[in-house]
Amino acid sequence: MKPFTWIVLPVLGAALSAGQDPQGQASRSRLLIEPAEMDLGEIRQAEYPLEFRFRVEGPDPVVFQEILSSCGCTNFRLELDGRRLNPGDSLPAAASGLVVGVFDARQYRNEKRTWLRLVSNAANGYAEGRIRAWIRPTFVLKPPVVRFGEVAQATVRAGSSMVPLRVQSDRPFTVDGWSELPEGVAIEDAGMVEEDEQKGVYVRLLQVRLVPAAPSGMLFGTAVARTSLEHDLEVTVQATVLGPVQYFPAGRLSFGLCEPGQERSLALRVQAAAGVQLPQPDLRLEGDAVFSAELGASQAGRLYTVQVKLKPDAAAGVHRARLHIGYPQDSGLPAHEALVVATVKGAE
């Protein structure tokens, strides 16, 4: 059994102390919900109207205070003789009515347990009804997440980065257009590849591609498509597009908190991708003059190390600069920028 978490949402009214009406009077009667547990069995990801019955058992009326519910139970209300009840309304002795609402299974899958409670001044404080269901997802994706891993930008530009994705449902369906696509991703519908009405298995094949213009760096996002069913199709895509030059770290050099009068140094590694000839980079710093940058150890054409230093006479406070790394124009290599940050402690 998979773990689940209760989330309590107040649905109607302001909470009163269990077992008391607004005047602090407790009732000798009990308020009950029937059935105590409703098993919906195996259901789809959809909304389902639900109906419980409530009754007052005992000699006294009961003051209805509020409805509480956990996640999945929405828009519940009490009805007595066709009239909607509000917090503070009195339920006569021996009264019987309906608890009406919706179980929203659209965002859940597999086993789901939830509950609702009628809080009142009854002797038992509140009546509880529980709901359980096994929710069958509208779509099952294989693989669940489309992972390209690390892909060289040259491979992406050649248009050869593609991952096939099988999308299965228990009903025939079409993909009617993508409302959201992560930058650098395209998804093509290759059509239905399996239809078995007896087994209730319908499979479409999608082709997830990285487009030639996909930017270098980390790519993570969710594509959302409209479908012919009541549920959108969501596809999570992960990739790392390796440009012709990689930088470690990629975007930020942080010295952290530094003692005054202390010289500090950080290294940034500049490395060429396979098959790329790396010319010696040009370095330029813009910002606070407390930083300096110079080339350190290198492997000509393959690897360079940039040493960024914080000067020992840096004043107390936060210092920022931007390191620009450029290349000769005829190399065709894009420039790179890295943020440099240091915080120097004040004198004691």
Residue 347: pLDDT band (50, 70, 90) is low
**Which of 141-145, 236-240, 297-301, 315-319 shows the lowest mean pLDDT across its residues?**
297-301
For residue 172, pLDDT over 60 is answered with yes
**Cα separation, 194 vs 189, whole angstroms:** 14
Residue 70, both tokens: 């956990």
What is the share, in percent, of the chain residues with pLDDT greater than 90? Answer: 74
> Which are the contacts of 82, defined by CB distance < 8 A and separation ≥ 6?
none
Can you give the pLDDT at residue 11?
37
How much is the pTM?
A: 0.65
Residue 348: pLDDT band (50, 70, 90) is low
For residue 290, pLDDT over 90 is answered with yes
**Cα separation, 183 vs 178, whole angstroms:** 13
**Which of 10-14, 37-41, 192-196, 334-338 shows the lowest mean pLDDT across its residues?**
10-14
Residue 196: pLDDT band (50, 70, 90) is confident
**Cα separation, 91 vs 29, whole angstroms:** 10
> Quick one: average pLDDT of 108-133?
95
**Cα separation, 111 vs 132, whole angstroms:** 8
Domains of the chain: 8-136 (2.60.40.10), 140-242 (2.60.40.10), 245-344 (2.60.40.10)
Instruction: Count Cβ atoms below 10 Å from residue 30 Cβ, excluding itself.
Output: 17
> Quick one: average pLDDT of 257-268?
92
> Quick one: average pLDDT of 120-133?
95
Residue 315, both tokens: 């004043």
Can you give the pLDDT at residue 24?
54
